[in-house]
Every structure is written in structure tokens, then in C-alpha cells.
Amino acid sequence: MSDHDVPGGGPSVAEPLVAAEPARRCSAAEEARTLLAGTGQGALASLSDDGSPWSSFVAYGTLADGSPVLCVSRLAEHGRNLQADPRASLLVVAPADGPDPLAAGRVTLAGAVRPGGADARAAYVAGVPSGDVYVDFGDFDLWVLVVERVRWVGGYGRMASASAEDYAAAGPDPVASSAAGAVAHLNDDHADALRDMARALAGHPDATAATCTGADRYGLDLTIATPRGVATGRVGFAEPCGAAGDLRGATVELARRARA
């Protein structure tokens, strides 16, 4: 089916020498909720009057269950489209973080819109700069996208669907906004601790160095240098972070555990 394994196409990858403790990852539903919380803009797909697809730029707010809230003018094609046919899909893409656009995380939510009420108005105004200026204009309609399908892509080779129920029940990662700073701090000032985590907790006792490539509520992603080649690994926190401020303590605990 796939010819993606191009011979000679990648560097050799070092396998763990010893079994590492499995480290929990964010679910697709959690990744989707984190993407929605990370930006207030996306691409709406709606249906034009001849049934053809129409892609347009929208700002959105978010209800507590993750339902996106749109506010669009009937003077614009997407506003007329939603009035005529409620089927819609919203794409949200993580802000660019490198030269390769397809390495970016993104999520597609698909379903149908319903008219929004006071909670939708509040969510829109809270989520969208200048939203309060036009939310009450007579030609603007508030719509809630009732999510029926969720498809998350985390970059190359990372993708999964989530059920509407899991999406609604999940929450955005509380450490998402502080993760980049924490990763930079770990790499700048705590390279030894990262190497020790790779040795003691990620299955590479011969690690010579490790770099943190990501942090989330459940743990850290590492790139690990060994005499056998480069490896990737993940080390899990003792407890999931429940707030942005928990990331520091969770990482300190990891470093202590690596040296115990």
C-alpha cells in the first residue's frame, strides 16, 4: 500500500537497550482541544449554493465543550452558505514553528452549525479581538459548530481521529502556553538532567546527551544521542500537570527520579 520507507531515506535510529517505563501521551481529543485553545482563527469549509465547497477565513470563540463559535456576515459568501446549509468544517492549524508547513499540528472539526445564544455570544467576544465591535451588527449571525467528527494530524506520521464525545470531554493542555519556554530552559540550563532522564528512564543507559523537543501535561519528549546512533524517547511525569505552574515541579521530580 505504501512506499514511504525510502531505502537510505533516513538516519539510523537507536533502539532502547532496556525497557523504558511507558509514558502517557496526549490523546487525539486532547491535542485537538489544545489546538483550538491555542489560536482564535481557522479556515471554514461551507457549501456554496451549487453544492461546491467554499474555504474562508474565520475567527472563533470556543464553548466549554470545545464547540467553536463563529460570527459571520450574511454579506459574505460563507454567511449566506451557512444560512442555506448548516454543514460545515473548521480547520485550525498550530502557529508556524519551522520551515516545513506540513510538520505543523492541525485539526479538522466537521459537523453542522446551529444558531448561537447568549453563551455563544460571550464565548465569541471573549475569544476574538474586536469581536465585540461587530457581534451585534444586524447582518452578522452567531453560529455554534456542533462537532460530529474530529481528525487530528500532529505532523508527519502522527494522526488519529477522535469521537465527538471524547472531544467534548477533553480539555486543552494547561501547560501549552508555557511549554516552549520550559523546553528552552531545560536545554539551556539542565542538559545534564535531560541526559540522566534518557539514561535512567528512557531506556538508553549509554546516552551521551539529550535534548528536550517538547513538553506537555504528561511528560517530556527527548532526542537522545548514543554511541549507537540517535534515538527519540519520552519520559512521563509522576502526575499529569493540572495547571501551567505544575510543569516546573513535575520536571524537577523527573530529574530527581532519574538520579535516584
Indicate the angle between helix axes 176-189 and 246-259, nearest 10 degrees: 40
Q: How far is the CB of 63 from a second copy (least distance, A)?
A: 19
**By CB under 8 A, what part of segment 100-139 binds a second copy?**
100-102, 104, 106, 108, 110, 128-130, 133-134, 137-139
Q: Give just the sign of the alpha carbon dihedral 47, 48, 54, 58.
A: negative
- Does residue 77 bind a second copy (CB under 8 A)? yes
- Does residue 160 bind a second copy (CB under 8 A)? no
Q: Which is nearer to a second copy, 187 or 213 (CB)?
A: 213
- Does residue 56 bind a second copy (CB under 8 A)? yes
Helical residues (DSSP H) of 56-175, grouped into ranges:
77-84, 118-127, 131-134, 164-169
Return the closest-CA partner of residue 250 out of 260, 235, 228, 232.
Answer: 235
Q: How far is the CB of 43 from a second copy (least distance, A)?
A: 3
Query: End-to-end alpha-carbon separation of the chain, Å?
Result: 47
Residue of 17, 20, 23, 47 that binds a second copy (CB under 8 A): 47
Residues binding a second copy: number (CB under 8 A): 51
Q: Which is nearer to a second copy, 89 or 251 (CB)?
A: 89
- Does residue 2 bind a second copy (CB under 8 A)? yes
Q: Which is nearer to a second copy, 19 or 130 (CB)?
A: 130
Return the closest-CA partner of residue 142 out of 210, 41, 71, 85.
Answer: 71
Q: Which is nearer to a second copy, 59 or 69 (CB)?
A: 59
Please state the separation of Cα 42 from the chain's center in Å. Answer: 14
* Residue 220: half-sphere exposure toward Cβ, Cα within 13 Å: 32
Instruction: Report how many helices (DSSP H) and strands (DSSP E) the chain contains, helices first.
Output: 8, 11
| 47 close to 54: Cβ distance less than 8 angstroms | yes
Residue of 153, 175, 220, 222 that binds a second copy (CB under 8 A): 153
Site of interaction with a second copy (CB under 8 A): 1-4, 6, 9, 40-48, 51-57, 59, 75, 77, 87-91, 93, 95-96, 99-102, 104, 106, 108, 110, 128-130, 133-134, 137-139, 151, 153
